[in-house]
Amino acid sequence: MPDDIEAVAEQVFAALADPTRRAILAALAARGPATATDLAVNLPITRQAIAKHLALLAEAGLLTAEPGERRRVRYRLQSAPMQVAQQFLAALARDWDSSLGALTDHLDRRA
């Protein structure tokens, strides 16, 4: 897991750029920890393809694998990297231009 927040954000956005990985993350967020087999049942892709995506997501720190026998390993969502990426999004989404426009209108109306 990278320490530098830029690198964390980059991995999160790269992970989210793929629809299958978004579906895996959404499934883990909605239903909790699951094995690759569980995920393959609920998603329209093979277990092998899921395993590849899970490895990438774990590498990015978005999932942790709970220890267990290979086929029974359960993957759990890690929200911390998402929170880092969210800070980036929060800065982009902060809309001071509209707020200050509204302030100007408010002052003009009361003049």
Partner 1 sequence: MAFPDRIERTVEVAHPPSKVWAALTTAEGLGAWFGDEAAIDLRPGGSAWMKWNQEGFTAEIRVERVEEPTVFGFTWQIYGLPEDDPRRTYVEFTLEPAGAGTRLTVVETGFAQLPEDAHRKAYGGNAEGWAKELGELVAYLDAG
Total residues contacting partner 1 by CB under 8 A comes to: 34
Q: Is 102 in the site for partner 1 (CB under 8 A)?
A: yes
Nearer of residues 20 and 86 to partner 1, judged by Cβ? 86
Q: Is 17 in the site for partner 1 (CB under 8 A)?
A: no
The sign of the CA dihedral 92, 1, 57, 80 is negative
- Match 């830029």 to its residue by tokens: 6
Q: Is 37 in the site for partner 1 (CB under 8 A)?
A: no
Helical packing angle, 5-16 and 19-31, nearest 10°:
100
Least distance from partner 1 to the Cβ atom of residue 110, Å = 8
